[in-house]
Amino acid sequence: MKLAELGFDDWFEAHAAERLHAGQTMARVTAVDRGAYMIRGKEGQCSAELVGRLRFAIDSTADLPCVGDWVCVQYHNSGENAVICDVLPRRTFLRRKQAGSSIDFQMIAANVDTPFIVQSCHYDFNLRRLDRYLVMARDGKTTPIIILSKIDLVTPEERAVLIERIRQSGVTAELLPLSSATGEGVDTFQELLVPGRTYCLLGSSGVGKTTLINHIMGHDTFETKPVSVTGEGTHATTRRQLIALDQGALLVDTPGMRELGILGAGNGIEASFSDIHDLSEQCRFADCTHTSEPGCAVLMSAEAGDLSEARFKSYHKLKRESEFNEMSYVDRRKKDKAFGKFIKTFKKNTKE
């Protein structure tokens, strides 16, 4: 398979020229499972492991290779396995705060051209969760498209109401209603997939991501689980993986995310809430927090009913969460560096 068919273009080639050494070639990470890597390049697909230097030189687990990354590799055993020697810079990324109490980034995928945010129009529909996915996508320098799945489970009138709710909430992203059961919208979805480009399906468990992949591939390549009696899907995908579709596009399937914490996503929040950002430029104070300041254009718009209360609250909630987690993250990194410096000094003094 040619590297261009895996998404390798001039941007990555320029960065590869700075990183590749003799005996190395480029490959793309197609799956990560508990520290084990699958890669694909001109020589085909094989397992790979990190070179020790790379494993111990990273500052954060987010710096480790993830699905979609381009890596410099050295093959062994006639191409049956390889060693990952370096990781190219990421043009785009999708990341979230790690689930649970840990304050760190968790990479979802890298070098994605377009993420599809899948929400079921039945039990999964949640505007505030949609806000979170949009923030994550735009923080990673991507332009998302919303897929409203399982439209066969509601009437056309109910579907129209859901779409209107999305638009009235201020969301302007492209939106595609779709049903894998009836096929409605699937052809339109496939027309959006360009050969050599990388796409990602994001959404909660059971919204129909894997079923959609099986539909466009024409066969049940990936396992799905039975739909419940309520029409609600169940979790099927267990790991992130990059799939090469027959028509030439590349698609990342991801497990459903129960938590979608926001960390250091200020740019994504401003881009997702561009209406509030535009209003803020009319505020009296440049550092307006839009909470109680006089002359706040955002507050005035909310009070006048031009800006919905739910959207305004969502903006503040995500902004506070992102800033709090970022402060905790920076503080932890400082402590980790201080501890690392202490250990180095201790070892040096012990040797002396």
Domains observed in the chain: 3-87 (2.40.50.140), 114-253 (3.40.50.300), 266-335 (1.10.40.50)
β-pairing, 198-202 vs 81-87, is: unpaired
Most confident range (mean pLDDT) of 21-30, 218-227, 247-256 is: 21-30
How high is the mean pLDDT of the chain? 86
Backbone angles phi, psi at 234, to 5 degrees: -125, 165
Mean pLDDT in residue range 120-131: 88
Is it the case that residue 265 has pLDDT exceeding 90? no
- Is the sign of the CA dihedral 247, 251, 255, 261 positive or negative? negative
Is it the case that residue 221 has pLDDT exceeding 50? yes
Is it the case that residue 351 has pLDDT exceeding 70? no
- The pLDDT score that the predictor gives to residue 224 is 47
Residues 58/59/63/65 CA torsion (nearest 10 deg): 30
Mean pLDDT in residue range 134-154: 95
CB neighbours (10 Å) of residue 181?
15
